[in-house]
Structure 1
Amino acid sequence: MLTVMQNSPLPLSPRSVIVRQAGTSLVHCLPAVATGIMVAMLSWYPGHCALMLIALPAAWSRLRGRMAGFAVWASYYLTGARDIPVVCERFFAGYNELAPPVGLSLGIAFWLLQAIVLALPWTLLKPGPAASAMSCAWRTALAALVVTIPPIGIIGWLSPLHVASALYPGWQLAGMAFGIAALCAVTMRQSSPAGWFACGLLAALSICAHGLWVPPAAPAQWMAVNTALGRFDQSRYPSLYKRTRQLRTIAHGAFASGASVVILPEEIAGLWRPAMALWWRTDIEHMRAAGQTLVIGVNLGVSTKPLRYTDSAVVTGAGRGRADSRQPVPAALWRPGGQTSAIRGDISEPYLTIAGRRAAMSLCYEDLLWWPHWRTLLDRPDVVISQSNGWFDADLALARIQQQGIRSVAQLAGAPLLRATNR
């Protein structure tokens, strides 16, 4: 009896149990973090392989514990959005709103917060070890939609739904539905016959989509012009006049080279003033007479106190039209309640008609999101036009990730992409 009692293991103290559980969680979190980082780098810049996004829900559904599920997604969002601190420092310091250290600190806070917010739905919806195939599927679909559409979708960059354009180019709404189904299928347990059947069917449909895919050509004589004019100082009239002269020269050169439609970057002309309309009047009259169309990024005033404006693309010359940004950059341009703020455009605004072609517009930050482009999933445009002003991020990975995002939208829509940027 005494020998048996001596050989029996001693009961663990509560503190020992907590330490052991923490060590077990850490062991599971380390490979989760490595997976999130790897997928972010392979899917986005520098990897540019959106198909790798399918590995995220596959790993997430099989990891043990919600902490590991949170780790895989948080590390993915932290890695993909790694430029936020530097962007905030440059942007707010560039406009003399914040000192560089303060802007950097604010950027770090935004960077950490966005990862937490975007990873939280995946954490709460993580399936348990005994979850059925259907439970895994609906949890995956719901989490993917929650992080892509508003309100969380306002910062819905790096959405796993970009896998749809990699798998089903040109298939629009059907392609998006099959893309969501693919994300769901890889979360089903390997022993599930339904999972194997779904994966096989979706793979066959993807092969069919790529077999039918023909990259669309941009309209003839349409030109998107990239500029290197830097930040626009709008505080003095000499600066306004200098920028106007630069843009007029660029437009003249593009039209002289044979273009009939010229696209300039977002916000490149700044806040539109009566003096600028006067400076452009002769050029606009000439363009109208010559059948030439200019698409230019401007800010249009709505009210003065508080200052409210729209971040807009204006069509002038032989054509007329206007599209407003449906989601200006949060904190940078869109500041509800602030003294100065861009206001959001109508989510239901129709396509612009430019030289007889229907154009879907994407203004800067919208390149990173899915929901402003809902119409492209239902009604294929003739062309997708992206205007961006990245004077603060042209040398960062963010600029290339932004370009990849809007290219993904255009690819799923089956439309050519024309993109004008300023750096």
Structure 2
Amino acid sequence: MLTIMPNVPLLSSLRAIVVRHAATPPGHSTLAACTGTMVAVLVWYPGHHALILLVLPAAWSRLRGRVTGFAIWASYYLMGARDIPIVCERFFADYQELTRLTALALGVVFWLLQAIVLALPWMILKPGPAASAWSHAWRTALATVIVTIPPIGIIGWLSPVHVVSALYPGWQLAGMALGMVTLCAITMPRYSPKAWLACAVLAALSVCAHWQWTQPAVPVGWKTVDTALGRFDQSSYSSLYARTIQLQVIVRRTFASGAGVVILPEEIAGLWRPAMSLWWRPDIEHMRAAGQTLVIGMDIGVTTTPFRYTDSAIITGAERGRMDSRQPVPAALWKPGGQTSAIRGSVDQPYLTIAGRRVAMSLCYEDLLWWPHWRTLLDRPDVIVSQSNGWFDADLAVAGIQQQSIASVARLAGVPLLRATNR
């Protein structure tokens, strides 16, 4: 019979944690979970009252015990990402990679895991009841950074950083810094006169930012095209040619309406093949002669065994350029160990220049993240262009959340946003 010595340090530590958590009334965890759920509902689609995000760190820092700290954040991420099971079912089943039941089950696993992974840093860094104001501040800042930048930030959607654009629109890096200070300040358990003064200064600066803020104007002659072409069947050249004809008709019609720059959704042209160069050549030559520019989403093959490709925005016509997605959708497109996978583009890719404007691109999944857009905090572009292909989620809350997320980035950067989506 195995006997465990009661004075083993690890056992003593575990016992202390259990006792401490057991002292927390069960109702506190339930209240924390309800709070996280309500914040997710009010902040994200169909609301987007981003200032309510301040409730999360404020409540988290004052809750008793790590379990309640975990509960408030896990419930927030579960409610905010509630569409993951349905998205997985539609995506993997429609591409015939999995059965509908298996895809749905996988989606449930992803849904639960993402909430656990994103809530764990908040649980681990939860300040104790006797922690100093400084401890509350640095723990809040560190947890926010951990869930926003890679590696965890690869799934860093719904980040509390989104409150920054609501507080300090157009202030870029200064706004981000002040927003982080604000997040830290509201977690402090006891307010001294100096702390109240700091909060008053932050509030005054927020009022100043809103007073200076004006809605940026979209460049004249730039037009985005929202399509309803659904999933692209690329199994035959006949389907490829049919999609090409559809896109050419759309592009010609939009240019004929007076547009100088036309923006189509992400991956709308599918995987680029040699035959497509022949099909598009007359249109590209006409655009070049007319001084017109097309921004179109497509996949570019890189290697054949294993098959690797980039999810890219291609600029053609009067100008040429290319931007590769810095973070294709994990598990769906980005599968590093799979036989087929998108590869990640460099985070150092410079802005594109289109019709004399400096353009920051956001390709589909990047709309939900902050870190691919780090450059907009330092060097303001003239416009942000977002391309998305949400044929599997256009009727779900996640489509609205995606739009709200990239709008938050554009608001902090102080630049106009142009979005082209396919459903």
Measure the CA separation in 1 of the matches of 2:24 and 2:272.
60
The residue correspondences of 1:16-415 to structure 2 (distance < 5 A) are 22=22, 24-415=24-415
SS of the equivalent of 2:230 reads coil
**Could you tell me the TM-score, scaled by structure 1's length?**
0.94
* Structure 2: segments with no counterpart, 5+ residues: 1-17
**1:120-170 CA deviation, whole Å, 9 max, x = no partner?**
000011111111111101110000000000000000000000111000000
Structure 2 CA distance for partners of 1:208 and 1:243, relative to 1, 3 Å: same
- Name the structure 2 match of 1:14: none
Which letter does structure 1 place at the counterpart of 2:313? A
Say whether the 8 Å CA contact 2:311–2:328 is kept in structure 1.
yes
Q: SS in structure 2 opposite 1:421? A: strand
Task: Calculate the aligned-residue CA RMSD, in Å.
Answer: 1.2
Cα offset, 1:195, TM superposition? 2.8
Please state how far the C-alpha of 1:201 moved relative to its aligned partner.
1.0
Distance 1:19 1:349 in 2: 51
Count of residues in Structure 1 that have an aligned counterpart in Structure 2: 406
Amino acid at match of 2:32: A
C-alpha distance 65-19 of structure 1, shift in aligned 2 (>3 A) = closer
The whole-number CA distance in structure 2 between the counterparts of 1:23 and 1:95 is: 50
Contact 1:190–1:196 under 8 Å retained in 2: no
1:22 Cα offset (Å): 4.6
Q: Deviation at 1:19?
A: 11
Contact 1:189 1:195 in 2 (8 A): no
SS in 2 for 1:302: strand
Aligned partners of 2:89 and 2:103 also within 8 Å:
yes
Classify 1:113/1:20 alpha carbon distance in 2 versus 1 (closer, same or farther; 3 Å): closer
Q: Secondary structure of 2:309's partner?
A: strand
**Number of the residue aligned with 1:8:** none
| 8 Å contact kept, 2:289–2:318 | yes
Structure 1 runs of 4+ with >6 Å offset: 18-21
For 2:209, the aligned partner's letter is: A
Bigger mean CA offset, 316-325 vs 47-56: 47-56
C-alpha contact 1:64 1:129 (8 A) present in aligned 2: yes
Give the drift of 1:25.
3.9
**Which deviations, in whole Å up to 9, do the C-alpha atoms of 1:270-319 show, x marking residues without a partner?**
00001111100000000000000000000000011111000000000001
Is residue 127–residue 139 contact of structure 2 (8 Å, CA) maintained in 1? yes
AA of the residue aligned to 2:47: G
1:63 and 1:42 map into 2 onto residues whose CA distance is 21
Give the corresponding residue for 2:12.
none
Q: Distance between the aligned counterparts of 1:364 and 1:349, measured in 2? A: 17
CA-to-partner distance for each residue in 1:214-233, whole Å, 9 max, x for gaps? 11001000001100000000
Following superposition, the deviation at residue 193 of structure 1 comes to: 3.0
Give the counterpart letter for 1:355 in structure 2: A
**Whole-angstrom distance in 1 between the partners of 2:397 and 2:23:** 35
Kindly tell me: are residues 20 and 65 of structure 1, through their superposed partners in 2, closer, same or farther at Cα, counting changes over 3 Å? closer
Structure 1: how far apart are the matches of 2:20 and 2:71? 19
Moved more, 41-50 or 89-98: 41-50
CA apart distance, 1:24: 4.0
Which sits farther off after the overlay, 125-134 or 226-235? 125-134
Structure-2 residue corresponding to 1:4: none
Instruction: Answer yes or no: is the 8 Å Cα contact 2:21–2:66 preserved in 1.
Output: no
Aligned to 2:6: none
Deviations 1:75-126 (A, max 9, x none): 0000000000000000000100000000000000000000000000000111
- Structure 1 residues 310-366: Cα deviation after superposition (integer angstroms, max 9, x where no partner): 000000000100000000000000000110000000100000001110000000000
Identity of aligned residues (%): 75
For 1:408 and 1:281, how far apart are their aligned partners in 2? Answer: 38
Q: Report deviation, 1:20.
A: 11
Q: Within 1, Cα distance between the matches of 2:396 and 2:167?
A: 27
Return the alpha-carbon distance in structure 2 between the equivalents of residues 276 and 398 of structure 1.
Answer: 32
Give the letter aligned to residue 116 of structure 1: I
Inter-partner Cα distance in structure 1 for 2:97 and 2:275: 27
Structure 1 Cα separation of the partners of residues 141 and 366 of structure 2 = 22
Local SS of the residue matching 1:106: helix
Q: Are the structure 2 counterparts of residues 67 and 194 from structure 1 closer, same or farther at C-alpha, using a change threshold of 3 Å? A: farther
Q: Give how far 1:199 is off.
A: 1.5
Q: Deviations over 1:49-99 (max 9, x none)?
A: 111111100000000000000000000000000000000000000100000
Q: Which deviates further from its counterpart, 115-124 or 46-55? A: 46-55
* Counterpart residue type for residue 391 of structure 2: W
Task: Supply the distance in 1 between the matched residues of 2:20 and 2:362 (Cα, whole angstroms).
Answer: 51
Quote the offset at 1:189 in angstroms: 1.8
Shift of 1:188: 0.7
